[in-house]
Structure 1
Amino acid sequence: MLSERTEVQVRAGVEADLEALTDLYNHYVRETPITFDTAVFTPQERRPWLLSHLEDGPHLLKVAVDVDSQEILGYATSSPYRAKAAYSTSVEVTVYVAARAGRRGVGTLLYEALFAALAGEDLHRAYAGIAQPNEASTRLHERFGFRYVGTYREVGRKFGRYWDVAWYEKAL
C-alpha cells in the first residue's frame, strides 16, 4: 500500500515502461473481469499497443510513477474508438491502477493528465466501457463528467460466466 506521503508523477509512457506495464495489465487479465483479454501477454506481444500511443496526438499513454522508487502505479490511455474514418474525433479511454495503489487518487491524477493533454486535440467525444460490477470505475468516470449511455448485457464471457459492460460518454 502507498503511504499518504507518496509523491506521484504522471508522465508520457515510454518504451522502457513496457515490462512493468505488461505486468500491471496481466494482473487484470489473470485476476479480474475488468479486461476481456483471457491470456496474459509477453512484453513483446504488448509492444505494438505501447507504440500505438504516441507522445502527442489523440492516442496517448499516461503513466503514474512513485517519484522515489520510479515504480509504475498505473496508466491511462486514449485509443481509437473504432477504425472507420468517421470515428476519428472519438476516443475510447481507460485507466488501470496497480492493485497496491488503489484508492489513493492515482486514477484521478492519470485522468486529469490525460484529459488536459487531449484538450487541444480535434476530438468530440470520449467513451469508456466498464465491465460490471465496478463501482470504483463508475465513480471515477462520473467524477470526470462521463454520463451513462447504455449497457451491453452479457457481452463477454470470462471465468466461466457472462459479464455486462456499461458504456459512458463524455463531451470533449
Structure 2
Amino acid sequence: MPEVVLRVAEEKDAAAMLALYAPYVIQTTVSSEYEPPSLDEFLGRMRSYTTKLPWLVCTVDGQVAGYGYAAPHRTRAAYQWSVETSIYVEESWHRCGIAGAIYAALFELLAMQGYYNIFVGITSPNERSMKFHKAMGFIISGAYQESMFKFGQWRDVLWMGKSLRAHEGEPQPTVPFPEIKDSPLVARALRQAEQRIHL
C-alpha cells in the first residue's frame, strides 16, 4: 500500500512542485503564464504567500503528487478576508481524490485563520474543473470575457466562489498561518482531509 501524506509544504519541496506545475504552463490554459517560472521565482512566490497563507503538498511514497495554496485575492484592505486558491495534481494521480483532499484541508485551515471567501478563476472551457469545483461547494460568481490570450486565442475566465462562514457583523483580523501551523488543530485537519485520498 503506498504511503500517502498530506502536509504543509516546505521550501525543499519547491523543485518538485515546480516540475509538476511546468506542464500546466507549457501544455494547458489552466495557467495564465507563458513560460514556467525559474526555481528562484517560484521560491519567491512561496515565501511571499506563506507569510500569511498555507501551501500544502501531497506526497505518495515520498514523491510530490499534488500541491495547492491560497494567495491574496486583492491587495487593498477591504479584500483582506478573501483569497484565491490554486491546486495542481500530477497527471498520473488524477481522479484519486488528491485535489479534493487538498481543498478540504484548505477550507478548514483558512476558516481557522478567519477568512470568509475563496475564489478560483477557471479558463474556459474546462467542464471538468467546473464540475469539480461545484462538487466542492463553489458557485459561479461571474466571468471575465476574453480576458486571457494564450495559444493564439482569446479566452474567457470563469470565476467561482465559496463562502467559509456567514457574513455577519464586522470581521476580526485574520491570523497568519505560521502562527497556527504547528497546532494540533492543523494536524487534525490535514489527517482528516488525507482520508479522502483513494489510490
Q: Same fold (TM over 0.5)?
A: yes
Distance in 2, Cα, partners of 1:109 & 1:6: 16
User: Aligned pairs, how many?
Assistant: 164
The superposition leaves residues 111-160 of structure 1 with CA deviations (integer Å, 9 ceiling, x where unpaired) of 11111211212211111111112222212211121100111111100111
Residue type of the alignment partner of 1:156: M
Whose helix proportion is higher, 1 or 2? 2
Runs of 4+ in 1 over 3 A off after TM superposition: none
Equivalent residue number for residue 62 of structure 1: 56
Residue type of the alignment partner of 2:151: F
**Is the Cα–Cα contact under 8 Å of residues 107 and 140 in structure 1 kept in the other structure?**
no
Higher relative contact order by CA 8 Å / sep ≥ 6: 1 or 2? 2
* 2:138 maps to which of 138, 143, 146: 146
Distance in 2, Cα, partners of 1:7 & 1:169: 33
Equivalent residue number for residue 33 of structure 2: 37
Q: Which runs of 5+ in 1 are unaligned?
A: none
Radius of gyration: which is bigger? 2
* 1:22 maps to which of 15, 18, 23: 18
1:170 is paired with a residue whose SS is: strand
Equivalent residue number for residue 181 of structure 2: none
Distance in 2, Cα, partners of 1:78 & 1:93: 4
Q: Which runs of 5+ in 2 are unaligned?
A: 165-199
The superposition leaves residues 37-63 of structure 1 with CA deviations (integer Å, 9 ceiling, x where unpaired) of 0012221121111112328x4x11111
5 Å-filtered alignment, 1:101-112, equals: 101-112=93-104
* 2:77 maps to which of 63, 69, 85: 85
1:33 is paired with a residue whose SS is: coil
Matched, 1:132 2:117: no
**Is the Cα–Cα contact under 8 Å of residues 156 and 164 in structure 1 kept in the other structure?**
yes
* 1:100 maps to which of 80, 88, 92: 92
Distance in 1, Cα, partners of 2:67 & 2:101: 10
Q: Normalising to structure 1: TM-score of the pair?
A: 0.90
Distance in 1, Cα, partners of 2:64 & 2:152: 31
